Amino acid sequence: MGFSKDFIWGAAAAAYQIEGAYNEDGKGLNIWDVYAGNNGNTRFNEVGDVACDHYHRMKEDVALMKEMGLKAYRFSVSWARVIPEGVGAVNEKGLKFYSDLVDELLKQGIEPIVTLFHWDYPYALHRKGGWRNDESSEWFLEYAKVIVDALSDRVQYWGTLNEPQCFIGCGNLVGEHAPFDKLPARDLLIMGRNVLLAHGKATRYIRQNAKKKAYIGYSPIAPAYIPKDNSKEAIEEAKAKTFSSDGDRFVFSITYWSDPIFLGRYPQDLLDQYGDLVPEFTKEEWELVTEPLDYYGANIYYSSADKHGNAYPDNWSQGVAHTHINWVLAPEVMYWSSKFIYERYGKPIFITENGMAEHDWVCLDGKVHDTYRIDYTHRYLKEFKKAADEGVGLFGYLHWSVMDNYEWAHGYNQRFGLVYVDYATQERIMKDSAYWYKRVIESNGENL
């Protein structure tokens, strides 16, 4: 069966990680602008003030996307660049940047995929309580309206939120991402409710007001447990673990963020643990949260595993293959995650992020020979193709990332890109993986 003729091949990036120009042309501050360089929050207190300078080099970067044969490019909009205070006056220069980006992509034959939110929450709204404030879903709706009204005459593919597990879990439970907070379950449950409502309100607005036919989804992280063998019992055990809400770490689970949207209910094990602490939705709010989506945007890099104190996790062993960011090489997760999620939620799987961090450098011949990235991507795509062969509905695949960039709390230490970026000079060099990926796209994955 393989990949369908309309399968979407592309790559992705996020505003804060590549744009730079953090205080130019009327842009407001976001929580990463404010907190990233403080108190060792990020490696060497590194920040995204300049990053890849994509704000000034957009046309050059789109030309590289064209050269590597991308059919689609997923980017996020910086909320504070468009609405500096989060609500209220629109910064027309900021909005124009994204309009120009869409125009340039279409000019080069590349489909734009817009993600409304990829972690860079406006600082002005954070000061008002951020996602803990029950007005936050309305703030998000106001922002979504501006973007949809401006871009939907040319944009068809939309994502509402990227990885709520990370911007709530990493940012507000374990304190590893901005705003670097450690909050109790009561606050996290309130935040989760408001995030789900924000997603629903934005989805409804896109569906009812987009000027072109809209394809809408959102992108949680979606790692599965890999069965220990192919027995029915092992598969059912892995599936049960994959869809556990994981106790006090519920904000990192798949089901906390997906069951309400696709099944119209909270996971039962969450309700069993937290009872009345779990905020209710009214009937009208449930209708918002469950607004129909066109795809399940899954960000998949590694497999899930049980952890045992100071011992190795289940998917780790001495000398196990792992990437520069210490994620275990586990290509089978692409098959099992896609299979499990498709069976549970019934939506075609769009891999909106997959890729690997590596120690990349420019070799003596002036090229970047990232053989491990090619091998990694080849392995993961073969498993994704296997899922297609077994009848799992697939929507597309987006490599993370189109270029090396600011890797959040890790700063500039890891390189994920198909394009090498020299941060001192802003020189770009297409890596070997970019040329390899171009051939994969040209063959629609038949050469894997």
Active-site annotation holds for 353? yes
Identify the active-site residue in 19, 104, 111, 353.
353
Contact of 406 with 46, CB cutoff 8 Å = yes
Contacts of 297 (CB under 8 A, 6+ apart): 159, 217, 218, 219, 220, 350, 352
Q: Measure the CA–CA gap between 162 and 372, rounded to whole angstroms.
A: 26
Task: Identify the helix (H) or strand (E) that includes residue 351.
Answer: strand 349-353
At CA 293, angle to CA 97 and CA 235, rounded to 5? 120
- Beta bridge partner(s), residue 427: 422
Q: Measure the CA–CA gap between 230 and 228, rounded to whole angstroms.
A: 7
- Phi/psi zone of residue 45: left (φ > 0), alpha (ψ -120 to 50 degrees), beta? left
Contacts of 249 (CB under 8 A, 6+ apart): 169, 173
Active-site annotation holds for 67? no
Name the nearest CA neighbour of 432 among 376, 359, 370: 370
What DSSP designation does 355 have? -
Task: Identify the helix (H) or strand (E) that includes residue 403.
Answer: none
Q: Measure the CA–CA gap between 238 and 228, rounded to whole angstroms.
A: 8
**394: helix, strand or coil:** strand
Identify the active-site residue in 163, 291, 358, 407.
163
DSSP symbols for 63-130: HHHHHTT-SEEEEE--HHHHSTTSSSS--HHHHHHHHHHHHHHHHTT-EEEEEEESS--BHHHHTTTG
Name the nearest CA neighbour of 61 among 28, 13, 9, 16: 13
Beta 215-219 vs 157-162: how paired, if at all? Answer: parallel
* Catalytic residue ranges: 163, 353
